[in-house]
């Protein structure tokens, strides 16, 4: 995020928070998320304003995300940068052998993921795209989902799009995946019988016990979670949300999560990529 | 409208009384009947033989692994507990708004009272759910006695 709007945002947050001080959350300052959104880019959007998860977090967390030197997620950006030019695999290549400078070749790329893959005849997300290159061009072992390497590379590549608008395409062959993701988003699951939409569409801007509910946007992922002290990829976050309603989560990189990732990205169309975001 | 149904039939869309009897016995739910009172579904009879214990109910309301009602609701008399949610309305004075029979219905399956779109979970229902984690399958969120304790507690919120 550029620093000027953020400073304005913080000032506004202070004013609004005191105006609507919550009775239920003594001591805690209510994040003032209204007014920090963008106009929905699609007439089908369920939102009046599309708001990054950033503005649903505390002032301290927002400030930490905005300061590249204090943002712990940048350790992963640096790790990803090292891996970018590290030769690995039987072909004796690194990412840089094919793509040169990530700052130019990867600018804006991640903002358009998940993206249709003609060869596989299905969409792939960024993690899957990275491993396709490793297996194919590099003849290297694919990184496992959740490995520090895959998350660092994902974070590094997403960071090359920082500030650029989320620009996922959901037309053409992506349409059935979009539709499937939408159905899953409204599907109630688990013993608590709750859908993504029950929390993130209907109830964002409210406390769910100690958690201040956001719109569940994906523009900041992978996010650095202060609680876990590491970067958390999107599919792990979605697993967590499903666990919380006592449901069996879909598997990371499953078709279900791929469809959901596509649909969730569409819900955040136009939001700036903020990777690495910081969350509590 | 007056219906005689068992819990298993009640829990899903009411028209689909399919699984009744499939899970009676130790894993099953206590049977109960739903009647319309003042035009709204209600469960007039206790689910158990033992009277509800309001003090025990207050603990269930607070406990994050049990009712966790404070996840969504505020209760002024439980102010010593931190973090009351805002997804549902305050439960202050709820006994003045609903009879015990209606409160029991709301806790057992609030869809009967608020409609299909309600966010509030059904605390005494095991069918019509999707992808329930293995450890929770075939079990309601609360036991019949916990439901009675919670209802007893709610009736004190005058």
- Find chain A residues with C-beta within 8 A of B70's C-beta: 209
Binding residues of A: 95, 98-99, 133, 196, 199-200, 237, 241
With an 8 Å Cβ cutoff, are A24 and B74 in contact? yes
Task: Scan for tokens 């016990």, then name that residue.
Answer: A209
- Find chain B residues with C-beta within 8 A of A189's C-beta: 129-131
Q: Is residue A52 located within the same domain as residue A186?
A: yes
In a domain, A188, yes or no: yes
Per-residue pLDDT of B115-141, as tens digits, reads 999 999 999 999 999 999 999 999 999
Q: Which domain holds residue A108?
A: 74-159
Q: What CATH number is attached to the domain comprising A131?
A: 1.10.760.10
Q: What is the reported pLDDT for B28?
A: 83
Question: Chain B residue with minimal CA distance to A189?
Answer: B130
With an 8 Å Cβ cutoff, are B131 and A247 in contact? yes
Q: Is residue A145 located within the same domain as residue A173?
A: no
Nearest CB among A25, A193, A209 relative to B71 is that of A209
Residues A140 and A246: their CA atoms lie apart, in Å, by: 37
Establish if A21 touches chain B: CB-CB under 8 angstroms: no
With an 8 Å Cβ cutoff, are A191 and B132 in contact? yes
Q: Is residue A170 located within the same domain as residue A268?
A: yes
With an 8 Å Cβ cutoff, are A203 and B133 in contact? no
Task: Give the residue numbers in B contacting A (CB under 8 Å), as ranges.
Answer: 64, 68, 70-72, 74, 82-87, 119, 121-122, 129-134, 136, 139, 141
Q: Is residue A169 located within the same domain as residue A270?
A: yes
| Mean of the per-residue pLDDT values of chain A | 92
Q: Is residue A151 located within the same domain as residue A187?
A: no
With an 8 Å Cβ cutoff, are B132 and A198 in contact? no
- Find chain B residues with C-beta within 8 A of A209's C-beta: 64, 68, 70-72, 83-85
Catalytic site positions of A: 241
Chosen from B73, B80, B86 to mutate, greatest number of chain A CBs within 10 A = B86
Number of domains in chain A: 2
For residue A184 the two structure tokens come to: 């899953």
Q: Which residue has the higher pLDDT, B53 or B9?
A: B53
**Nearest of A20, A23, A22 to residue A12 by alpha carbon:** A20
For the whole model, what pTM was predicted?
A: 0.90
Instruction: Give the residue-averaged pLDDT of B83-88.
Output: 96
Binding residues of A for heme c: 95, 98-99, 133, 196, 199-200, 241
Which of A108, A125, A159 corresponds to the end of one domain? A159
With an 8 Å Cβ cutoff, are B132 and A247 in contact? yes
Per-residue pLDDT of B15-39, as tens digits, reads 333 333 333 333 589 999 999 999 9
Q: What is the reported pLDDT for A75?
A: 97
Which of A128, A159, A190 corresponds to the end of one domain? A159
- Find chain B residues with C-beta within 8 A of A247's C-beta: 130-133
Q: What is the reported pLDDT for B134?
A: 97
Please check whether residue A233 is in contact with residue A151, taking contact to mean a CB–CB distance below 8 angstroms: yes
In order of their start, the domains of chain B are 35-156 (1.10.760.10)
Per-residue pLDDT of A102-155, as tens digits, reads 999 999 999 999 999 999 999 999 999 999 999 999 999 999 999 999 999 999
Per-residue pLDDT of A235-264, as tens digits, reads 999 999 999 999 999 999 999 999 999 999
Question: Has residue A278 got a pLDDT over 60?
Answer: yes
Q: Is residue A24 located within the same domain as residue A107?
A: no
Band of the pLDDT at B3, cuts 50, 70, 90? Answer: very low
| Mean of the per-residue pLDDT values of chain B | 87
With an 8 Å Cβ cutoff, are A248 and B132 in contact? yes
Per-residue pLDDT of A44-96, as tens digits, reads 999 999 999 999 999 999 999 999 999 999 999 999 999 999 999 999 999 99
Per-residue pLDDT of A6-42, as tens digits, reads 433 443 443 333 333 344 465 668 999 999 999 999 9
Q: How far B83 CA lies from chain A's nearest CA (Å)?
A: 5
In this complex, how many residue pairs, one in chain A and one in chain B, have their CB atoms less than 8 Å apart? 77
Q: What is the reported pLDDT for B6?
A: 40
Which of A122, A142, A159 corresponds to the end of one domain? A159
Q: DSSP for chain B?
A: -B----HHHHHS-TT---STTTT-STTSPPP---EEETTEEE--S-SSSSPP-HHHHHHHHH-TTTT-GGGT---GGGTTSS----SS---TTHHHHS-HHHHHHHHH-THHHH-TT--SPPSS--SS--SB-GGGTT--SS-HHHHHHHHHHHTT--
| Percent of chain A surpassing pLDDT 90 | 90
């Amino acid at each position: 995020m550029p620093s000027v709007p953020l400073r304005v945002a913080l000032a506004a947050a202070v004013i609004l928070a005191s105006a609507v001080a919550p009775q239920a959350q003594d001591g805690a300052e209510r994040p003032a998320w209204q007014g920090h959104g963008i106009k929905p880019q699609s007439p089908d959007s369920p939102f009046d304003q599309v708001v990054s998860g950033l503005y649903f977090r505390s002032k301290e967390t927002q400030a930490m995300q905005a300061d590249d030197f204090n943002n712990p997620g940048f350790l992963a950006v640096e790790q990803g940068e090292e891996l970018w030019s590290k030769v690995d695999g039987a072909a004796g290549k690194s990412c840089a052998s094919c793509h040169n400078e990530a700052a130019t070749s990867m600018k804006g790329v991640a903002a358009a993921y998940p993206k249709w893959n003609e060869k596989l005849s299905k969409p792939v997300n960024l993690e899957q795209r990275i491993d396709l290159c490793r297996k194919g061009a590099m003849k290297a072992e694919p990184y496992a989902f959740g490995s520090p390497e895959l998350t660092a590379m994902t974070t590094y590549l997403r960071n090359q799009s920082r500030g650029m608008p989320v620009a996922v395409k959901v037309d053409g062959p992506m349409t059935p995946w979009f539709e499937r993701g939408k159905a899953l988003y409204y599907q109630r699951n688990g013993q608590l019988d709750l859908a993504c939409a029950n929390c993130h569409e209907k109830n964002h801007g409210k406390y769910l016990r100690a958690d201040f509910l956001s719109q569940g946007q994906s523009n900041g992922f992978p996010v650095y979670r202060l609680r876990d002290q590491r970067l958390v990829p999107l599919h792990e976050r979605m697993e967590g949300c499903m666990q919380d309603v006592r449901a069996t989560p879909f598997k990371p990189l499953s078709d279900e999560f791929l469809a959901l990732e596509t649909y969730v990205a569409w819900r955040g169309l136009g939001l700036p990529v903020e990777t690495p975001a910081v969350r509590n | 409208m007056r219906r005689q149904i068992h819990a298993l039939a009640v829990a899903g869309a009411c028209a689909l009384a399919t699984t009744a009897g499939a899970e009676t016995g130790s894993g099953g739910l206590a049977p109960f009947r739903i009647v319309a009172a003042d035009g709204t579904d209600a469960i007039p009879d206790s689910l158990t033989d033992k009277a509800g214990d309001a003090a025990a109910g207050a603990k269930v309301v607070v406990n994050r692994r049990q009712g966790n009602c404070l996840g969504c609701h505020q209760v002024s008399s439980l102010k010593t507990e931190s973090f009351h949610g805002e997804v549902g309305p305050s439960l202050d004075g709820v006994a003045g708004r609903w009879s015990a029979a209606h409160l029991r219905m709301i806790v057992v399956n609030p869809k009967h009272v608020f409609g299909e779109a309600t966010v509030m979970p059904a605390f005494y229902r095991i069918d019509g759910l999707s992808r329930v984690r293995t450890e929770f399958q075939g079990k309601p969120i609360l036991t019949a006695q916990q439901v009675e304790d919670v209802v007893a507690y709610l009736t004190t919120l005058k």
